[in-house]
Structure 1
Amino acid sequence: MAYQALYRTWRPQKFSDMVGQEVITKTLKNAITTGQTSHAYLFNGPRGTGKTSAAKIFAKAVNCLHPVDGEPDGTCEICLAADKGTLGDVMELDAASNNSVEQIRDIREDVNYAPTMAKYKVYIIDEVHMLSTGAFNALLKTLEEPPANVIFILATTEPQKIPATIISRTQRFDFKRINAQAAYDRMVYILNDRGDAFDETALRVIANAADGGMRDALSILDQTLSFGDGNVTLENALLVTGSVTQTLLGEYVQAVVAGDSPHALAKLTEVLTAGKDANRFVEDLISYARDLLLYTEAPELVTLVPDEQFKELAQGSSPTVWYQMIDTLNDTQQQLRYTNRPSIYLEVLTVKLSQPMLKQPQPQVTNLVGNVDKVNATSNVEPAASVAASQPVLSEKQADMTISTATDEVRPEAVRRTTPKASADVAAVFAVLDQATKGDLQRVRTSWGDLIASLDVPQQAMLNVAQPIAASSTGVVLAFDFDVIRANAMKNIEMQTLIIQKMQVLTQSNVERQLVMINQEEWPKLRSEFIDQRKQGAPDQPAAQMVDRDLDQLVDSPEETTAEPSIVTTALDIFGSDLVEVSEK
């Protein structure tokens, strides 16, 4: 007989064989035992979690001649025919390839005929969300008034695509992801039954890589067995899944936590040289950081076996380090979806994780740059009052924090953490213009669309009315069409931080650019003032004219930034600029 994949050979034949869905299986067994079965069910959940298997088991159990506590006995003629696939009263339909109205109409006609062998006709429609609108409408009438001996089981991974009128006529069961421990236990049972040798650590790697899908876990296990000639070793599991060893992950994380960028980059080179997948590496890092975060609070939730290095990392760093590491890793994971050069993103990620700033907890009061200056410039008594007066909107708790921060000795790193990311000062605009180049502006503009697309919808709405008009290696001037939106953007420190970080990645620069946000209407005036300022320093008129021409090569002119959109120009060419008033008589 031809070889069958493990997930087919070990497909559950009873509810008790299913893994990780105890609530659902108990509910279905009780319904069969008490005779309170419904005419339609909706099984929803991620792939490989047992939806189709549960549907087949239910179809057998509800028709079994000698059920035992809601389970099929597996020996009667109905169960045997169902196992062989010859029971004509249980019909499976793949909606991905059978989604037309005609095929659903055939079902509507077929339900009118009585079952041939079994008690119920059971229709299992897999991937039901793929049905067309017309097919759903055709199915709706049958679900409203089904014959007494017909049961529908609809299975899907995307219930949001199913009309509410269909969902409301079914009993819905949400299948959850199978946790790594349950998948591990199932694989141990299968391998022991087969008599295959295995490494427990290898099975844990496979269980984590399966990401909640039992079918995926068995498929990876099958591949590992083939690769290792019937043996499941850690080395083979890592090669098949593309995962990284716990030791190498620990060494990498230890290097970035210690701020040792060269050593961390060396470890990254080892990972890339071994041919590991960039996305898998980031996922492994997220899981590792998550386990470090949970180890001190809930060790039972940790999915790996902690070694000495892991324990040292967990006990030697604060949870804030792991919060920020997971956030940074998540951002990088999103960016990897849009690049063909993942190694560059991983290198930037490594340097970013190694920065000392990531290891400091973020202060709750972030608008203290002006207050810090006041503390340095005035006496030791006045700053507290001046700070409290300058923050009238703070709560009492925040005000106390502000005063205590202002009266304490100000550290340089505290100033860096509380400095706003954006500025609107004329001096900041002139500082960018003084170093501006057309190449820097072109690089920023080329990546501007991708940068906006990677942000949240509210942040996209803010930046859709802004555009870069000047850029240097250390700064960018953004012009906003509406001053109220510019003011809101100035207050959004989180968005500013994301812009700076994503600009670093997209322009492949390690320097954090200073953001300068101005109103579009102010740009012509600022540009002229800058030109005049540079002309005053020029010894003669020809040199001043050269300065003006140079600036035209570096930044946009007001005419360029305020030109009419092409659609407006086209409309004026067709219809003219005269206003026509239409009145009804």
Structure 2
Amino acid sequence: MAYQALYRVWRPQTFGDVVGQEAITTTLRNAVATKQVSHAYLFTGPRGTGKTSCSKILAKAVNCLNPQNGEPCNQCEICQAITEGSLNDVIEIDAASNNGVEQIRDIRDKVKYAPTRAEYKVYIIDEVHMLSTGAFNALLKTLEEPPAKVIFILATTEPQKIPATIISRTQRFDFRRIEASDILKRLEYILRDKDLSYDEEGLRLIAQAAEGGMRDALSILDQALSLNNDQLTLNNALQVTGALDKQQLEDYLQAVIKHNAAQALDNLHQLLTSGRSAMRLTDSIIEVCRDLLLVKTDEQLLDEFDRSLVATTVLEAKDQFSQDQLYKMIDAASKTQQDLHNATHATIYLEVLTVKLCEIMSKQPVAANTVDNSQLQSMQQEIDSLKAQLQKFNNNTQSKTATKKQTTPVKHQKPGTKKIHVDQQKINQILANATRQDLNQVREIWPDLMSMLNVTQKAVMKVSKPVAASNEGIVVAFDYAMWFERVMSNQEMLDMLKDNIDKLLKNDADVVIVAAEDWPQIRQNFLQNHNITAQHSEAKPASTQNPAVAEAKKLFDPDLIELKDD
């Protein structure tokens, strides 16, 4: 038998085999088990995340002669015929090459005939967004009122190109990018089943390079195994993915930290000579800077998988970078990455980037949070002086007005701080119609929003979460004031958030961001202005639910509401 690629051999045959889409597979399995299968489904999501596989599994499950709790048995003649692609009652259509009105009219004419062998006739239309406008119109009536025992399954990577009239006639399931850790577990399972040895670090590189697609991960693994007689080594994984070895990246960054441009350029040339990709280098620089930012903010923000891809010595050097330096390095690497798309001499751009990174490090060699003893003494003297002035002011509170005028300007306002204005009126408009259902809907699409961002934007948005939502807009809170202020000052970032959220929610909603530490007070202001309080009377038993509290819980996450006695 001819060799088959890994992604074909290991295509999921049951819902339980599908990785990273537990919510979808559980819903479909329960629908089959309870015989509540819809007549039309729409599967959307990035490539290689399980859309086509789930379509075939669903076709088998509804037609299986011996189903087991919603799963196909894969042993009966119907299951085997569908797996082999020989059952006439399951029709797979590639809309990219069959996108005309004539092909859809042919389906419409044949759909009225009953299935021949199976219980259901199933039409699987892949890349359905490629259908023409006329073809979509021809499909509308059939989707709305199909004959009995017919199921349509539409799959696409670009749901925004599908007419709303089609989407409204289907049950939509959004497949998400698979977590790198889940991909890693699946790859380990496959290699153990094939009894092949592997380097765990090399396997981690492949899982990361797949960018959320299981099919891509298996294809990369196939290439790496073919390089070294069915054995996965770190070197094979590096060659196939073009990723940087930990040691190579560490040597390069150490030279940058010391702002030694000559050594950094030498390390750069060694990287390129060893076959490393220019785009992978800029990706790695951005990712490492992002990791350092997260670690400097909070050690817990960097998960175990991301931490394993970075040399320990690089993470330990976090105090040698200031946050401003890391921001500038990310911006410089992002700009170079854009230039590389149209560059004919990539090496020149990387050399310029290397010198620029060294220059950034040379301007502020000491981290912003490092203070020497002389500075501490000077600050202590200033504090003592201010205390003395304050004591003098307190002793003369009954003196002349002139004295009061002289001492009044001394206030406890931090120099250089500027309170960023939050649009309370717009927040009130959102909260006035906010519901728990709207908030849950936004939280469901939040991972999809994160997958649409680049590495730099993900680093910023990882510490944010939606806290309130309505048809009018969404309120997003940032855990740290630093990140909130950075996004508020970046109009391009705000526009990007609104555009992507509008695409995912299919509406035109405002996006308002707040600092998490300010959110309780903002929420309380709204509640008070609308005669809603989170207080309850001491005379009431603890078990009695205050109507105002119930109303507040409809608007906000109950975990965020704190009840206090007067």
TM-score if structure 1 supplies the norm length?
0.60
Match of residue 237 from structure 1? 237
Q: 1:216 is paired with a residue of what secondary structure?
A: helix
1:255 is displaced (CA, Å) by 2.2
2:416 equivalent to 1:401: yes
* Residue 116, structure 1, aligned to residue 131, structure 2: no
| 1:141 shift after superposition | 1.5
Unaligned runs of 5+ in 2: 369-410, 419-488, 492-566
Aligned residue in 1 for 2:61: 61
Q: Quick check: which has more Rg, 1 or 2?
A: 1
Partner of 1:303: 306
The question of 1:351 aligning with 2:329 is answered no
Find the counterpart in structure 2 of residue 39 from structure 1.
39
Deviation at 1:208, TM superposition (A): 1.1
Deviation at 1:315, TM superposition (A): 4.9
2:160 aligned partner, one-letter code: Q
Q: Percent identity?
A: 59
Cα distance in 2 for residues equivalent to 1:78 and 1:161: 34
Specify whether residues 326 and 297 from structure 1 end up closer, same or farther in structure 2 by C-alpha distance, changes over 3 A only. farther
Does structure 1 conserve the Cα–Cα contact (< 8 Å) formed by 2:322 and 2:367?
Answer: no
Kept in 1, the 8 Å contact 2:179–2:212? The answer is yes
Structure 2 Cα separation of the partners of residues 318 and 19 of structure 1: 39
- Deviation of the 1:256 alpha carbon: 1.9
Contact 2:256 2:357 in 1 (8 A): yes
**Partner in structure 2 of residue 257 of structure 1:** 257
- Aligned equivalents of 2:69 and 2:413: distance in 1? 61
SS in 1 for 2:152: strand
Structure 1's 194 and 399: CA in aligned 2 closer, same or farther, altered over 3 A?
A: closer
3-state SS in 2 of match to 1:151: strand
Encode CA deviations 1:447-490: one digit per residue, 9 max, x unaligned.
xxxxxxxxxxxxxxxxxxxxxxxxxxxxxxxxxxxxxxxxxxxx
Specify the code of the residue in structure 1 equivalent to 2:34. T
Tell me by how many angstroms 1:163 deviates: 1.0
SS at match of 2:341: helix
- How many Å apart are 1:254 and its aligned residue? 2.5
* 1:182 matched to 2:182: yes
Is this contact kept in 2: 1:291–1:302, CA < 8 A?
no
Q: Letter of the aligned partner of 2:340 in structure 1?
A: L
**Per-residue CA shift, 1:136-190, capped at 9, x if unaligned?**
1111111121112111111111111111111111111111111211111111110
How far off its partner does 1:326 sit? 2.5
- Does the residue aligned with 1:197 lie in a helix, a strand or coil? coil
Q: Is the 8 A contact 1:294 1:302 kept in 2?
A: no
CA offsets per residue over residues 364-404 of structure 1, 9 Å max, x none? Answer: xxxxxxxxxxxxxxxxxxxxxxxxxxxxxxxx99994179x
The alpha-carbon distance between structure 1 residues 397 and 297, as it changes in their structure 2 partners (threshold 3 A), is farther
Paired residue type of 2:207: A
CA contact (8 A) 1:20 1:179 kept: yes
Q: Distance in 2 between matches of 1:193 and 1:258?
A: 47
Q: Is the 8 A contact 1:180 1:303 kept in 2?
A: no
Unaligned runs of at least 5 residues, structure 1: 364-395, 404-492, 496-585
CA 1:23–1:315 in 2, change beyond 3 Å: closer, same or farther? farther
Instruction: Describe how 1:353-368 pairs up with structure 2 within 5 A.
Output: 353-356=357-360
* Aligned equivalent of 2:215: 215
Q: Which runs of 4+ in 1 moved over 6 A?
A: 360-363, 396-399
Q: AA paired with 2:84?
A: K
**Which residue number in structure 1 is paired with residue 268 of structure 2?**
268
CA contact (8 A) 1:320 1:359 kept: no
Q: In the alignment, is the contact (CA less than 8 A) between 1:101 and 1:138 conserved in 2? A: yes
- Alignment correspondent of 1:535: none
What letter is aligned with 1:146? Answer: P
The structure-2 alpha-carbon separation of the partners of 1:494 and 1:351, relative to structure 1 and needing over 3 Å to count, comes to farther
User: How far apart, CA to CA, are the structure 1 residues paired with 2:412 and 2:349?
Assistant: 40
Structure 2 counterpart of 1:29, which letter? R
Measured in 2, the distance between the counterparts of 1:250 and 1:302 equals: 18
More displaced stretch, 336-345 vs 109-118: 336-345
Q: Which amino acid aligns with 1:249?
A: L
Matched with 1:317 is 321
Provide the secondary structure at the position in 1 that maps to 2:172: strand
Tell me if the contact between 1:49 and 1:213 (Cα under 8 Å) persists in the aligned partners: yes
Residue aligning to 1:336: 340
Could you say which residue in structure 2 is the equivalent of 1:199?
199
TM (norm. structure 2) is 0.62
8 Å CA contact 2:320, 2:365 repeated in 1: no
Q: Distance in 1 between matches of 2:270 and 2:412?
A: 48
TM-fit CA distance, 1:42: 0.9
Instruction: Give the count of matched residue pairs.
Output: 374
> Which letter does structure 2 place at the counterpart of 1:54?
C
In 2: Cα distance, 1:260 partner to 1:124 partner: 59
Aligned to 2:155, what secondary structure does the other structure show?
strand
Say what the alpha-carbon RMSD is for the aligned residues. Answer: 2.5
User: Could you tell me how far apart the structure 2 residues matched to 1:494 and 1:397 are?
Assistant: 29
SS state at 2:303 partner: helix
Deviations 1:223-270 (A, max 9, x none): 111111111000111111111101111222222233222222111111
Give the Cα separation in 1 of the matches to 2:324 and 2:412: 21
